[in-house]
Structure 1
Amino acid sequence: MNIRSFFKQTFPFTCLLCGQTSGPGHLCGACQADLPWHSQPQCPRCALPTPDGQVCGACLKHPPAFDHTRAALVYAFPLDRLIPRLKYQGQLAIAPALGECLAQAAASSPRPDCLIAMPLHAKRIRERGFNHASEIARAVAKRLDLPLDATSCQRLRDTPPQMGLKHDARRRNVRGAFSCSSAVQGLRVAIVDDVMTTGTSLDELAKTLKQAGALEVDNWVVARTPAPGDPA
């Protein structure tokens, strides 16, 4: 038994949601089961719910640069509390819990050659001290035994937050925001991020990856926001 396993058994975690002893994980079994898992039939491209799991009209009309999306959860309570606590309050213990959920959901997906976390601009990293997507991706990579590429993609511009912007404004906001090296040429890549709303940032990064030679790009996201008018 290694030291980490010993401490997990001797000093179990406290559940991030209910405060009870959660054993070796950051969420107890009951709270994990009660999470809003994204299990309904959904568009394979963007993960929005569709009647029989067919490609949605928006993806048929304007096919995104990414090929598939795997979302673990719906962005509803308690995700709408946990993710902001990670991103803006620096509660880093939340990242491995979210990563475990994403790894569980993505375990049945085709294995990519590598994971790439959604890049954060250097200014934002200096302000926060970390990239939340990288923290989540690290947990996924460890759980699924996948390589995590932390160097091939960069965010060139410190774009304003996407929250509150309409779809066209979001697209203009991230246009040309990323740079990817030729190290991704011929690879199947999965982008790891926390929340997918309109998918414009993911689409722009996927486009940049494919321009650099990536063969296939999928999104692996912790949570998918409901479509307008859908119940959370």
Structure 2
Amino acid sequence: MDWKKLSTTKISEVYKRLFLNQCYICNIKCQSSLCHPCHEGFPANLKYCQHCKRPTHRTRISCGQCQTNPPPYRTCIAPYRFEGIIKTLIHSIKFNQGTHYIRPLMYRLSKHLIESYPPESWPEQILYVPSHPSRIKERGFCQTRAMATQLRKNLKELLGEKCPTLPKHNPLKKIKNTKAQHSLSRKERLKSPQSSYQLDGPIAKHVALFDDVMTTGSTIENCTKLLLKAGAERVDIWVIARTPDKEY
């Protein structure tokens, strides 16, 4: 008997039972990282533009912006609205070192992705929208990298070999340190420089581009155009939440 392996296994079981088999929000015992009552409090994005997933008052229509200027990406997955507890958790991750909330959010996003994709339609590669190096230094970590890593881990457990790859070094780089998007108005966001990102590395034909929140969509669209220009044939957008317009 391999006692070393046995002890490691037992320690892992105890750790999981004590720290992981509980809701990360209310700490109640449960089999996943998020209990049903807490998830029921998440603001689901149920009525939205069928293309960009902008929250609307009607179900599965195309918003005026998408009718006038269709986004370059193929599809967008955005299961929640950026408000309420979702907004609180994401802000905690980004600004208050609340990285423990990454696990439940990525758990729910991975479940939603599994429900959204047919078995043979999964992207080949996951890329994430990165922060500028100075922003990462200030914050201590890149939240989209940490989220994408956990998301890929969850998908690997569910999909096995069909799981998209996540490059060790993200080929998408932010080269201009623009103002934090949450501090800008919609008009200012749309005027932000379009050449803030560059690609440095190989990309797949079918790419999933991950970001935590999608507001105006300008950053997502600029990165998508960059990927398509570099040889990607299809880009899908994966975000946790979509920001409703003020008039929503």
The two structures have a TM-score, normalised by structure 2, of: 0.83
Is 1:173 matched with 2:192? yes
Partner of 2:212: helix, strand, or coil?
strand
Query: Would the aligned equivalents of 1:167 and 1:198 in 2 still touch at CA under 8 Å?
Result: yes
Give runs of aligned pairs for residues 138-149 of structure 1, distance below 5 A.
138-145=149-156, 146-149=164-167
Is 1:111 matched with 2:122? yes
Is 1:44 matched with 2:50? yes
Query: Would the aligned equivalents of 1:182 and 1:213 in 2 still touch at CA under 8 Å?
Result: no
Paired position in structure 2 for 1:30: 37
Post-superposition offset of 1:181: 3.5
More displaced 10-residue stretch of structure 1: 171-180 or 83-92: 171-180
Aligned-residue CA RMSD (Å): 2.1
Paired position in structure 1 for 2:94: 87
Counterpart of 2:210 in structure 1: which amino acid? V
Paired position in structure 2 for 1:183: 202
Paired position in structure 1 for 2:220: 202
Post-superposition offset of 1:64: 1.7
The two structures have a TM-score, normalised by structure 1, of: 0.88
Is 1:99 matched with 2:106? yes
More displaced 10-residue stretch of structure 1: 195-204 or 54-63: 54-63
Q: Which of 72, 77, 80 lines up with 1:73 in the alignment?
A: 80
**Largest Rg, 1 or 2:** 2
Post-superposition offset of 1:4: 4.0
Paired position in structure 2 for 1:16: 24
In structure 2, C-alpha distance between the alignment counterparts of 1:93 and 1:209, rounded to whole Å:
31
Post-superposition offset of 1:229: 1.5
Counterpart of 1:95 in structure 2: which amino acid? I
Post-superposition offset of 1:124: 0.9
In structure 1, C-alpha distance between the alignment counterparts of 2:19 and 2:101, rounded to whole Å:
18
Counterpart of 1:126 in structure 2: which amino acid? K
Partner of 1:222: helix, strand, or coil?
strand
In structure 2, C-alpha distance between the alignment counterparts of 1:209 and 1:117, rounded to whole Å:
12
Identity over aligned pairs, percent: 28
Structure 1's 91 and 152: CA in aligned 2 closer, same or farther, altered over 3 A?
A: same
Structure 2, unpaired ranges of 5+: 1-5, 157-163
Post-superposition offset of 1:222: 0.5
Deviations 1:74-130 (Å, cap 9, x if unpaired)? 112111211111001111101121111211111122411111111111111111111
Deviations 1:163-198 (Å, cap 9, x if unpaired)? 2434443133241011113511x5211111111111
Deviations 1:119-158 (Å, cap 9, x if unpaired)? 1111111111111111111121111123113421111111
Structure 1, unpaired ranges of 5+: none
| Alignment coverage as a number of residue pairs | 227
Paired position in structure 1 for 2:159: none
Instruction: Identify the structure with the greater helix proportion.
Output: 2
